[in-house]
Amino acid sequence: MDAMTKSGLKIGFIGLGMMGAPMAGHLLQAGHLLYVHTRSKVPQPLVDGGATLCTTARGVAERADIVFLMLPDTPDVEAVLFGEYGVAAGLARGKAVVDCSSIDPIATRAFAARIQELGCDYLDAPVSGGEVGAKAASLSIMVGGTEMAFERVRPLLALMGKNITHVGAVGDGQVCKVANQVIVALNIAAVAEALVFAAKAGADPARVRQALMGGFAASRVLEVHGERMLQRKFEPGFRIALHQKDLNLALQGARALGVALPQTALAAQLMQACAALGLAQADHSALVRSLENLAQHQLDSARSASS
């Protein structure tokens, strides 16, 4: 079905990277008209599905009624929204912007105020679940904004995720995502420490992980990222560089609020150590490499329990 024959909503999507491309694909597959803009080449499945390429973010906003953003960082969102030929320049009263990026909550509230002055809705809707969740349409989506705006876009969010929660006002979705990233980072660090300890002590870390999966230490991180650590599969599902950005947001917010986040600071330093080892673009499970470096011992060098 091409764009000329579709009868769905007019949806814009800006940012077609590892996460954005499959998310946009779900909207397209549901029969919506899709207008896209990205710095890189538009993925072929979106082209084949009838997505319309716009040369500017403004062009997307002029054509679409609801514009989704999925961008790396706060400055990227600001530039796409308010730069020359940005989204704001193409909006008309009654349209909506949904930012699925993970960015600064304070900046989000300022961006929302500027978009709302144009008579448009603004929702922050960061996601969790990584590339796997984006492809499977099983993302957790944490939404900040008015109840009316949330209900307006909920059916579209349901095409991309399963656990969709209206957290509160604008910016609260980003606060929730920062909290999510703190928990994930600390879990990765805990799993990495435990497995490195086991390996250094001479136990088989694979069997240790298997045993732990049946007890109170069991977690999704132990299941998925523990396996990645053992198999040395560090192809990015979520890059260390992006997790560093999210932890920096947590630490910046903590300073502004007068809150101490000591374990978050430590996790951020372990990720910085990984970046120093040239692993900034590796999966965040590669955090284990920084601990292996400190221990001078790799998981795959552990003595097998069967030997």
Q: Which residue, among 136, 126, 143, 246, has the nearest Cα to 188 in the 3D structure? A: 246
Provide the token pair at 227: 């396996």
Query: Would you give the distance in Å from CA 189 to the centre of its chain?
Result: 19
Q: Tell me the sheet residues that pair with 128.
A: 140
Q: 237 phi and psi, to 5 degrees?
A: -100, -35
- Pair type for strands 127-128 and 66-69: unpaired
Q: Active site includes 135? A: no
> Which value, in Å, is the radius of gyration of the alpha carbons in the chain?
21
CA dihedral (229, 230, 236, 238) positive or negative: negative
Distances (CA, A) of 151 to 155, 165, 233, 261, 274: 8, 11, 39, 34, 41
Q: How far apart are CA 90 and CA 273, in angstroms?
A: 43
Q: How far apart are CA 186 and CA 6, in angstroms?
A: 45
The one catalytic residue in 95, 177, 200, 245 is 177
Q: 303 phi and psi, to 5 degrees?
A: -70, 130
Q: Which residue, among 258, 255, 260, 285, has the nearest Cα to 270 in the 3D structure? A: 285
Q: Which residue, among 147, 163, 292, has the nearest Cα to 232 in the 3D structure? A: 292
Active site residues: 177
